[in-house]
Amino acid sequence: MSILAVDPVLAQTSGEAFCETDMALTIKNVFSIIQFGGPLIGGVVALGTTVAMTTVRRADLKKEMKEARNQAVIWGIIVAPLGTAIVQFMLNNVVVGATSCGF
């Protein structure tokens, strides 16, 4: 009986211990960089290609620049913040022992 009563408490302390590890903090820092750097870089690339397209005369180069702009918007501005929200949800809710890391 004591093994069944103590086992959930042990799992919870290991979850709390994970939140204090360097790995949890590293994951948080990497995805914070992606969350804030992704839209910044994506926005700069999208704006740069939009401005540069007005000076380009060749249709094939214009098509490549439009594709670069579209990819910058998709991956930099839309996907990067969504990916960090998913990882933040995982760190807050799906940690071993069901303990929130509070990131």
Q: What's the chain's average pLDDT?
A: 75
Quick one: pLDDT band at residue 1, thresholds 50, 70, 90? very low
What pLDDT does residue 4 have? 46
Phi, psi at 78, each rounded to 5°: -100, -50
pTM, whole model, 2 decimals?
A: 0.55
Contact 15, 96 (CB under 8 A): yes
Question: In this predicted model, what pLDDT tens digit does every residue of 73-89 receive, in sequence order?
Answer: 888 878 877 877 777 77
Nearest Cα residue to 21 out of 79, 94, 98, 95 = 95
Scanning the structure block, which residue is given the tokens 């700069």?
Answer: 44
% of the chain residues with pLDDT over 70: 72
